[in-house]
Amino acid sequence: MEEEAGRSGGSVVTLDHVRNSQKRFLNEMEQEVKGFQVETCFGPSGCPTRAVDCEGMAQELELELNKRDLKAFLRERVQGPLKMHHEFRVSLSCCPNACSRPQIVDFGIIGVKHPKVSEEACTQCGACIKACKEEAVHLDEATGRPTIDFEKCLSCGQCITACPTGTLQEDTQGFRVLVGGKLGRHPQLGKDLGKIYSKDEMLKVLKHYLDFYQTHCQKGERLGEILNQLEGK
C-alpha cells in the first residue's frame, strides 16, 4: 500500500491506494512474483532482544536465492500462471521471539545464544531468573549458583544480558534452522533440524535444501509437501 501511494506521489495511504494495490495484485500477480521471498524481523535494525547480530544477512540470503533464477525454474514446472504461494520462502529472526514467523516458511532461521554457567562468583541477585520467561533458570540452594534447565531453555540469551557478574556467559551463538513450514489449505510448522549452526554452516544447509527442492519439485510444490511425500505422509 505504501508503495502504491509513493507511485502516485501521495504521502498518506488512502482507500484509493488500497483498491489500486489490490487490483494490481489480483490482475498482475505473475509480474509481482520473483520466485522467492526473504522476510526479516527488526533485529538487524538494533532490536534489544536480538540474540545474534544479523546485519547484512538478508542480503546474503537474497544473493544465494537470486543465483537460482527460481522464477524461471517455477515457470517450467507450474501448470498455469505463477502465484505468490509458489515462491520459495525464507524467514530470518534474530532471536527466538521469531517475529518474522520462521516456523511457517520453507526455510526458517532463528538466531540463538546458548548460555553456560561460568566460574565467576554469583551474588544471587536473581536478575537471571527474572529475565527468563521460560522459568529455565534457578538458584541451587546448596551452591547458591544458577542452574539452567536446557529442556526449557530457548537460548534467547536474555539471562546472559541480565547477569551483572558474568556468572552466566555465552556458550554457543548461531542459528537454529526449521524446514518445510507452510500455510495454505494444509498448514504445517517447519521441522527443527536440532542443531545450532554457524552462519557459514547455515548457508550451506540452505544451499543443500535448495538443491533438494529444485531436484524434487515437479509442479510447484512447496518444500514441506515434497518432504511429506518422500517421508510417506
Instruction: Please give the Cα distance from 144 to 72 (Å, whole number).
Output: 61
Question: If we measure between CA atoms, which residue out of 189, 110, 122 comes closest to residue 156?
Answer: 110
Q: Is 37-230 CATH 3.20.20.70? A: no
Q: pLDDT of the chain along its 233 residues, tens only?
A: 456 556 666 666 677 666 766 666 555 556 778 999 999 999 888 899 999 999 999 999 999 999 999 999 999 999 889 988 999 999 999 999 999 999 999 999 999 999 999 999 999 999 999 999 999 999 999 999 999 999 999 999 999 999 999 999 999 999 999 999 999 999 999 999 999 999 999 999 999 999 999 999 999 999 999 999 988 76
107 near 209, Cβ under 8 Å? yes
